[in-house]
A and B are shown apart, each in its own frame.
Chain A
Amino acid sequence: DAKTTQPNSMESNEEEPVHLPCNHSTISGTDYIHWYRQLPSQGPEYVIHGLTSNVNNRMASLAIAEDRKSSTLILHRATLRDAAVYYCILSGGSNYKLTFGKGTLLTVNP
């Protein structure tokens, strides 16, 4: 499975933008880039995914580098409810398995 590298932790202030980086230098041409987050004591929650082009949804934006070897999840205005572990995952192959790493623990300060 293709691997991703994320910082262990990041900190942000409430109502400021947050840029969560992810490196995936061994990504293959058919791998999708997924982001999930896990709030305390809950199951993971889908955030966004993309293949080549930048993507926006109501929760976040995903910026994908032109060579696809890195991506950035952007939370436009962090709230206290965004404090969670954020996982960057590559998925492809015949069964599109999600292989979770340790993710980035995001702390949001009031």
Chain B
Amino acid sequence: EAGVAQSPRYKIIEKRQSVAFWCNPISGHATLYWYQQILGQGPKLLIQFQNNGVVDDSQLPKDRFSAERLKGVDSTLKIQPAKLEDSAVYLCASSLVVASTYEQYFGPGTRLTVT
């Protein structure tokens, strides 16, 4: 079974530029998550989708971050404009459904450096 795919793996941009990350979840997984992990901390949930609808985006900085999941499969996360404090690893995860008994499968992440 193929895992969660993310691209790019690494990205370096200057502050005020824009950047986009792509995620392809495990086939058949209805729920998709984007997390931000700053160095030395645990991942923080940014947004959760169930199919193509948003379940939770309470911690997404909506003035600069946006995410979409068209057709309920792939997803993109965009930052515009980037700030220095956005430097982090952005992780995508998926699970079969939204339920506590279903594990989340994580991708390898995209490491973003904002200079």
Contact = CB atoms under 8 A, between A and B. Distances in A.
Interface of A: 32, 34, 36, 42-46, 49, 85, 87, 91-92, 95-103
Interface string B102-114: 0111111100000
Interface in B81-98: 91, 93, 98
Contact of A43 (B45, B55, B107): B107
Interface in B23-71: 40-45, 48, 55-56
Contacts of A98: 45, 104
B34 to A, nearest CB: 12
B103 A43 contact: no
Interface of B: 4, 40-45, 48, 55-56, 91, 93, 98-101, 103-109
Contacts of A43: 4, 91, 93, 106-109
Contacts, number: 53
Q: What is the predominant secondary structure among interface residues of chain A facing chain B? A: loop
A43 B92 CA distance: 9
Contact of A95 (B44, B56, B93, B107): B56
Given A43-B109, A102-B41, A103-B42, A95 B104 contact: no
Q: Which of A45, A98, A102 has most B Cβ within 10 Å?
A: A98
Contact of B98 (A44, A46, A96): A96
